[in-house]
């Protein structure tokens, strides 16, 4: 079977763009089959045969509950095509209709809220890891004396500062984009209601 591979990178805040791209590929006759987060593999198929949706299981669900949820989805004709990290890539036959109602703003808000929670949780975990590493290095440095200790202390604090700065540069804009999208959806719900 003919396949194509594309290199793409989407952040957690870009899942809607990623989903649109997967559906555009489907409309042009390329069915998504898997990703490792950077490389997307497609197989030649019938144009528009499938529609795709990216899902994020609830953080509060146990592994057993997640498995039962996706088994139920499969019974409803929705296939889990691929998974990567937190995401599940779902597809169903276009002939079976769309995944959501025509305008499912509450569903979109729920999804953005889940992505926001994952992104903030990732940031907190990375900060905690940096703090533990710095603490461990400081404890190790307490046994070193003289110029070597001053040098190593400077290196540790330089690495820590760089790490915190890098996380802020990478994660804060992602979290902010998700928060902005949440506010847009909340405003849309308030206007309708």
Cα separation of 85 and 25, whole Å? Answer: 22
**Quick check: 53 and 99 in contact, CB under 8 A?**
yes
What's residue 193's pLDDT? 63
25 — pLDDT class (breaks 50, 70, 90)? very high
**First-residue to last-residue Cα distance in the chain:** 49
Model pLDDT for residues 77-99, shown as the tens digit of each residue: 889 999 888 889 999 998 888 87
Nearest to 36 by CA among 89, 75, 76: 89
Highest mean pLDDT among 52-56, 65-69, 186-190: 52-56
Q: What is the pLDDT of residue 101?
A: 53
**How confident is the prediction for the chain on average, in pLDDT?**
85
* 3-class DSSP assignment, residue 155: helix
């Amino acid at each position: 079977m003919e396949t194509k591979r594309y290199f793409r990178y989407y952040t957690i805040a870009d899942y809607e763009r990623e989903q649109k791209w997967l559906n555009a590929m489907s409309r042009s006759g390329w069915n998504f089959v898997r990703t490792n987060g950077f490389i997307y593999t497609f197989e030649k198929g019938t144009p528009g045969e499938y529609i795709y949706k990216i899902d994020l299981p609830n953080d509060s669900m146990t592994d057993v509950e997640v498995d039962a949820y996706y088994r139920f989805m499969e019974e409803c004709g929705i296939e889990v095509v691929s998974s990567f990290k937190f995401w599940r890539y779902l597809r169903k036959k276009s002939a079976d209709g769309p995944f959501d109602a025509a305008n499912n703003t509450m569903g979109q808000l729920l999804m953005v809220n889940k992505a926001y929670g994952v992104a903030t949780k990732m940031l907190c975990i990375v900060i905690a890891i940096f703090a533990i590493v710095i603490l461990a290095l400081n404890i190790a440095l307490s046994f070193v004396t003289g110029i070597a200790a001053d040098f190593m202390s400077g290196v540790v604090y330089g690495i820590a500062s760089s790490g915190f700065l890098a996380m802020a540069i990478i994660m804060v804009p992602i979290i902010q984009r998700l928060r902005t999208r949440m506010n847009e959806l909340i405003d849309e719900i308030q206007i309708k209601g």
